[in-house]
Amino acid sequence: MTESESMRGDDFPLVFSKKFENIAIQFIKKEKKIWITSSTIAKGLDIHRKNVNRIYHNNRGLLDPYTCVIKIEVEGQKRNVRVFDKIGFIGICMRSNSSKAVPFQQWVLKIIDHIEEKGYYIEKPKNIFDLMKKQSEMFIKFIEETERQREKLKFIESKVESFEQRYEEEKVITPQTKKNIKDFVHDCTKQTGKHWGGFWPKIWKRFGITTTVDISEKLGQEILRWLKENRREFLYGEIQYKKLS
């Protein structure tokens, strides 16, 4: 909800938040007044909510005119909550013994006074240099996070590439590749009239294997390429081995 939307009317409570030392502090606008809940006061003072309730109950005669219970929506559910106006809030802070009482009280009163006077409150940076410094820090963090993600992606890609390479090296020869080698040898026997036993040993000797049954697909493709490059020598004479690309 934007601040302008939060200030539209007074027929029902409107909740909006501001940051105090990176802590979300909720304010409630109802009947042209700004209220703050006991739980929110506890967060800003960095004390337990029970301590705020204890301060209230110990000083009810003084604080009752400045507090009430209203119904608001909390996490999707409507609940009755105790809220304090500006004077009640000051009374709680003065009796809290919290080290944050003074800065928190000053911060809250500045917001309440400004909203009651102007109808809105926008936190402004102390100066342009503070804003530039903050933007620079955010940009540096963005760059650092981007670089971390890039390095992480490169690491994952290297793992995938390594896995794919190992998979190709270990993948068992496919039936089609095995058939292509067999068809090549069979075609050589038909063309020369020689027995297949004169051809298979040449392949086994060249590649240091005893069978093509359980070799890898990568080696099977290498054998096919070699056979095609050395077909004439394979058919009619001694093999003049060529360096495979």
Residue 56 has a pLDDT of 93
Distance CA 234, CA 226 (A): 10
pLDDT in tens, the chain (245 residues): 333 333 344 445 677 888 888 888 888 888 778 899 999 999 999 999 999 999 999 999 999 999 999 888 766 778 888 999 999 999 999 999 899 999 999 999 988 888 777 665 555 555 566 667 767 777 787 788 888 888 888 888 877 777 666 666 667 888 898 899 889 988 888 888 888 787 888 888 888 888 887 888 888 888 999 988 888 888 876 544 344 34
Residue 240 has a pLDDT of 42
Distance CA 10, CA 13 (A): 7
Residue 232 has a pLDDT of 82
Any alpha helices (H) in the chain, and if so which ranges?
3-6, 38-45, 49-58, 60-63, 86-94, 101-118, 128-170, 175-192, 200-207, 217-229, 231-236
Residue 79 has a pLDDT of 83
Pairing of the two strands 33-37 and 23-30: antiparallel
| 216: DSSP letter | B
Distance CA 155, CA 81 (A): 52
Residue 143 has a pLDDT of 83
Structure tokens given for 172: 């068992």
Distance CA 127, CA 159 (A): 49
Residue 92 has a pLDDT of 93
Phi, psi (deg, nearest 5) at residue 210: -115, -5
Distance CA 119, CA 220 (A): 80
Distance CA 52, CA 94 (A): 11
| CA pseudo-torsion sign 209, 214, 217, 223 | positive
DSSP notation for 147-172: HHHHHHHHHHHHHHHHHHHHHHHHSB
**Widest distance between CA atoms in the chain:** 119
Residue 244 has a pLDDT of 39
Residue 165 has a pLDDT of 67
Residue partners of 242: CB distance under 8 A and separation at least 6: 226, 229, 230
Identity of the residue numbered 142 = F
Structure tokens given for 98: 């919290």
